[in-house]
Amino acid sequence: MPETPLALTRRARKTYRILRDRYPYAHCELDFRSPLQLLIATVLSAQSTDVGVNKVTPILFARYPTAEDLAGADPAEMEEILRPTGFYRAKTRSVIGLSQAIVERFGGEVPARLKDLVTLPGVGRKTANVVLGNAFGIPGLTVDTHFGRLVRRLGWTEETDPVVVEQVVGALFPRRDWTMLSHVLIFHGRRTCHARRPACGACPVTALCPSYGIGETDPEAAAKLLKYELAPGAKGVPAP
């Protein structure tokens, strides 16, 4: 018997509550001090890791602290700074072009509206929602690869188009939950529900997940797959 829309909403919200308890500290893992820094860091995170980006951005922003500085940067100099992130030539062009657009069209300030952000070169809805949710406190869903994988595994949607996924999943939750929901699912995807070998036996939402069993179900074996440690006797609380 197909799941009713009401049953799906209830299951999705219960799943979120459980995962939020496991990752109460979930947050944006890119370091930033301003909307501009987060926007640039998010652009740099493509084909790179947050850890890798966080090693480079302090150097980048110390050298180019404003949008005007970034817009007028010497490409060769910026390339050397961005080299560790990979695809550094293309990223240099993106950062300079994006910064020039911010200076020319928004007076050097990152706009706080989705419709404005997505007009900037290289900025799609995912990047825009990261900035809105974390730099401006405006709720948004960040539909990255982890988020998309998890909502499909959890049976919240079968859609693959990020825009449609954003609409469908957004309708299941109050708007105020969107940003934290994104963080929680991304944390779960990186730490437990991995792309290739999910740690099903160490997952707290197995009873609510139609995909249970696609990964390791033995609790001890699954626990070894976790990307963080659980405190002894605790449910989903990282060890100090």
Which residue has tokens 């405190």?
231
Q: Which of 91, 126, 218, 235 is catalytic?
A: 126
Report whether 56 contacts 85 (CB < 8 A): yes
With 0-12 CB in 10 A as exposed, 13-18 as middle and 19+ as buried, what is 224?
exposed
The whole-angstrom separation of Cα 82 and Cα 44 is 8
Give the architecture-level CATH label for domain 1-27+141-240: Orthogonal Bundle (1.10)
177 is catalytic: no
126 is catalytic: yes
Comparing CA positions, the residue from 29, 80, 71, 17 lying closest to residue 54 is: 29
pLDDT in tens, 51-83: 999 999 999 999 999 999 999 999 999 999 999
Domains 1-27+141-240 and 35-109 share a fold: no
Tell me what pLDDT residue 237 has. 45
Residues in the chain predicted with pLDDT less than 50, given as ranges, are 231-240
Tell me what pLDDT residue 229 has. 53
Q: Which of 55, 144, 161, 177 is catalytic?
A: 144
State the pTM of this model.
Answer: 0.89
Comparing CA positions, the residue from 148, 150, 188 lying closest to residue 165 is: 148
Tell me what pLDDT residue 240 has. 36
For the chain, the domains span 1-27+141-240, 35-109
Instruction: Give the ranges where 45-173 is alpha helix by DSSP (H).
Output: 50-63, 67-71, 75-82, 88-106, 114-117, 125-135, 145-153, 162-170
Cα dist from 94 to 44, 47, 88, 98, 101, whole Å: 9, 14, 10, 6, 11
Give the architecture-level CATH label for domain 35-109: Orthogonal Bundle (1.10)
The whole-angstrom separation of Cα 200 and Cα 150 is 13
